[in-house]
Amino acid sequence: MNQRPHLVIEHRELLARATPRPDAAAKLAATPFPSDRQHPQALHGAILGSPHPHARILAIDTGAARALPGVHAVLTAADVPGQGSYGLRHIDRPVLCADKVRCVGDPVAIVAADTPAQAQAALAAIRVDYEVLATVDDPVCALAEDAAPVHAGGNLLHAMTHDRGDLAAAEAACAHVVEAEYRSPRQMHAYLETEGGIVEHDGNGGLIVCFGCQNPERDRQVLAAILGLHPDTVRVVGTPIGGSYGGKDELTIQPLAALLALHTGRPVRLHLSRSESVDLGVKRHPMQIRLRTGCDAAGRLRFMVADILADTGAYATHGPEVLDAAVEHVSGPYQYDAVSLRGRLAYTNNGIAGAFRGFGAVQVQFALERQMDVLAARAGLDPLAFRALNLAAPDAPGPLGQQVLPFDGPARALDVLRTHPLWTAPRSHTDGRYHYGTGLALVHRSDGFGKGGPNTARIVLGLAADGKIELRTGFTEMGQNLVGAIHALAASALGCAEDDVRPVIGDTAHTPDSGPTAASRATAVLHRAMQQASTDWKQRITVAGARLLGVAADSLVPAAGGLRDHHGTLCISYPALAAALAPAARPLLTLVIAAEETPSDVPAAHYVFGASAAIARVRVDAWTGQTRVEHIALLAALGPVVSAQGFLGQMEGGALMGQGMATIEDLPTHSGRYQARNLDAYFIPTLADAPAMEIIAVENLPDDDPVGPRGAGEISVNVTAPAIANAIAAATGFAVRSLPVKPDDILDYLENTP
């Protein structure tokens, strides 16, 4: 199938290519994060959250709190000067709750005081009368006729369906049909830096909002609307971020800190404790996924029926897009005669679910990839061979019937792993107390937002006064090595050295609207921008240099350090060139990156996909039921690797997060209350849990591929969760239907199986 050989970068070579991040020194020098920022005049903000998951607010009395020493402001919904609610697609989340609270921690009042202790004392003095309402704590009940409405419009927030082909005929052709219901957990982002930062005054009636965020320009617009200010008077500095993984994509407490700063005229710091962060932050959407899938006697997939129900909690945030992604990814990179896919998203009082690395896809990929293993076994085929047999052709339409960019990544991923020693070794055995098993998963994963999403971007490129080539973008650095990617991409496209480049990121005072740093898009968008800029930039800078030196433009080449002649001799350095040019004559390019959207008319559908396959080997302890992941081999087929350090980091970090989801991470609610509010009860993997990891890249893209590298931010979480689930099933025989796999369930199974 693949005419060209695979362009494989083995793990060892990736390691050799991985140079230190350009911002490593700054991070090692403990440069402050937004939540670390201090100001001598700063007041301390604090939030009064609802103690109830669902209640009507009858009255709020702030009089006693206002009278306390050190208290500068006590604000409620009535003090919001502009728009009272916000949200990405649905404007449903109150800045401060006025009539009703919909989850524990929902902000009801805020305080600014001289000291944190005074702020806490003021919170304790605020009286709120609630009328407690019935808690909607389950998405199935939420959608029942007689359920209490969380929002006035009812509890069905969003639904999506896709039907294609003759289902009855496809099912009639099947020799094997497998039906099962799967559950995926509510996972916590557990970024180590909880939400925090400072709002300062700029001295001209404007505000400077400094909190880690993923989209400074959007935050600026929304904050201005809430504060009743012109957007030009709000500056958002959103970088660096102490971890996000999607969890800081939307505003959380910035509006509250900004309101306090506006009312008091003083800088205000606000930094959530871990338990407050757990209450207010978003989580991964828990999903119930029913799949019915069949293949014929030869093992060819014929049909899939999928029914997905997701719990979005109290507010929409990214919920509708997450559900759309679930429906789009549930059938995988495979081919069917017919599919019938349905997804529903329910409001409940169970906290708030939103964007999280893997974004709706990882939940359904777990279910699908379990289903593929079970069907392969029924059909008597090897799991890898079964998947290879059923891959959609590289130029087939996408999962929703949309036109997609041709891509052969899934086939290449399987092909490279076919001969991997982890796969060719025996895949399960028992050694006394321990059961060992090897599992495989294959995923494809969309890039960017679906059709109609914020897919466009602006990037500015210019020669600064000091001779640095500045790349200005609103993207933010949250650990992914954005800065390293900018250096590498700009240098290779513009002919200069990495040192000649200065990234300017994530600050609305200096950077354009690049759209969200999300959906694995930043590196891919920057790559496209630099491709677009290359010729134009080289021409402008050589012309400028030639004029100055009185030589022909084509005698100069943009190179490391400056313009050189064809023998490599430096003719003029970038600093000398910048110094000699009037500011207006220095090269400046504004790049507008068009949305990479499917030409098809399918809403929310994606155009660009990447792929990954992984093999996981686990050891299950028959005495304790506990799973130890020993080894993961992860192959990412995402096109050229831009930054080896960033790529490795995204693969390793996401893989362990997927492992967490498969083995230990779950945040259940009970009557609308989280059962853990800190890292002493919600456990994330430690160094002791980390497996040996082997990361491999396949760089091939189809010959005339116009977009280049696919995003690397998410796919590792997508692929490892199902691979580990399959490995546990292979080790024990236990039909894994629910993540994380609980030791008790394994023990029950092992004890009751002869």
Partner 1 sequence: MSTVRFKLNTQAVSVSCAPDRRLLDILREDFGLIAAKPGCGVGRCGACMVWIDDLPANACLVMAFRLEGRSVRTYEDVAADAASAPVRDAIARCGALQCGYCTPGLAMTLTHLHQQTPRPDREQAASLLSGNLCRCTGYGGIQRSIEQLFPATPPLSADNSGDSQ
Least spacing, CB of residue 198 vs ligand FES, in Å: 20
Least spacing, CB of residue 115 vs partner 1, in Å: 9
Binding partner of 29, given partner 1, ligand FES, none, CB within 5-8 angstroms per partner class: partner 1
Judged by CB under 8 A, the number of residues near partner 1 is: 56
Q: How many CA atoms lie within 13 A of 378 on its CB side?
A: 20
Per the DSSP assignment, residues forming a β-bridge with 589 are 461
Q: From CA 647, how far away is CA 222, in angstroms rounded?
A: 32
> ∠ CA 724-726-732 to the nearest 5 degrees?
100
Cα dihedral sign, 482-485-491-494: negative
Write out 244-312 in H/E/C secondary structure: CCCCCCCCCCHHHHHHHHHHHCCCEEEECCHHHHHHHCCECCCEEEEEEEEECCCCCEEEEEEEEEEEE
Q: From CA 434, how far away is CA 432, in angstroms rounded?
A: 6
11-14-16-18 Cα dihedral, nearest 10 degrees? -140
Which residue, 217 or 477, has its beta carbon nearer to ligand FES? 477
Binding partner of 656, given partner 1, ligand FES, none, CB within 5-8 angstroms per partner class: partner 1
Q: How many CA atoms lie within 13 A of 289 on its CB side?
A: 33
Least spacing, CB of residue 241 vs ligand FES, in Å: 9
The answer to whether 39 touches 269, Cβ cutoff 8 Å, is yes
Q: Does 412 bind partner 1 (CB under 8 A)?
A: no
Least spacing, CB of residue 276 vs partner 1, in Å: 11
> Residue with the closest Cβ to ligand FES?
192
Q: Does 15 bind partner 1 (CB under 8 A)?
A: yes
Q: From CA 476, how far away is CA 238, in angstroms rounded?
A: 6
Which residue, 223 or 482, has its beta carbon nearer to partner 1? 482
| String of contacts with partner 1 for each residue 234-263, x by CB under 8 A | ------xxxxxx------------------
Those residues whose C-beta lies under 8 Å from the C-beta of residue 541, and which sit 6 or more positions away, are 463, 558, 563, 577, 587
Least spacing, CB of residue 104 vs partner 1, in Å: 19
Least spacing, CB of residue 245 vs partner 1, in Å: 7
| Range 56-85 burial, b when 16+ CB lie within 10 A, else e | ebeebebeebeebeebbbbbbbebbeebbb
Least spacing, CB of residue 278 vs ligand FES, in Å: 14
Binding positions for ligand FES, rule: CB under 6 A: 192, 243, 479
Which residue, 194 or 520, has its beta carbon nearer to ligand FES? 194
Order of strands across the sheet with 588-593? Answer: 501-505, 469-473, 457-463, 588-593
Which residue, 174 or 241, has its beta carbon nearer to ligand FES? 241
Which residue, 21 or 285, has its beta carbon nearer to ligand FES? 21
DSSP code for 392: P
Q: Does 124 bind partner 1 (CB under 8 A)?
A: no
| String of contacts with partner 1 for each residue 693-732, x by CB under 8 A | x-x-------------------------------------
DSSP code for 315: -
| String of contacts with partner 1 for each residue 80-119, x by CB under 8 A | ------------------------------------x---
Least spacing, CB of residue 24 vs ligand FES, in Å: 11
Token pair in block for residue 284: 């991964």
Which residue, 212 or 313, has its beta carbon nearer to ligand FES? 212
Per the DSSP assignment, residues forming a β-bridge with 431 are 434
Q: Which of 144, 169, 172, 192 touches partner 1 by CB under 8 A?
A: 192
Q: Which of 106, 183, 97, 180 is nearest to 139 (CA)?
A: 183
Q: Which of 92, 106, 137, 193 touches partner 1 by CB under 8 A?
A: 193
Q: Which of 56, 151, 263, 274 touches partner 1 by CB under 8 A?
A: 274
Which residue, 522 or 541, has its beta carbon nearer to ligand FES? 522
Token pair in block for residue 580: 């000699």
Q: Does 69 bind partner 1 (CB under 8 A)?
A: no
The answer to whether 638 touches 610, Cβ cutoff 8 Å, is yes
Binding partner of 27, given ligand FES, partner 1, none, CB within 5-8 angstroms per partner class: partner 1
**Which position has the token pair 């403990």?**
30
Which residue, 278 or 546, has its beta carbon nearer to ligand FES? 278
Q: Which residues bind partner 1 (CB under 8 A)?
A: 15, 18, 20-21, 23-25, 27-30, 32-33, 36, 38, 116, 189-194, 240-245, 271, 273-274, 478-481, 645, 648-649, 651-657, 678-680, 684-688, 690, 693, 695
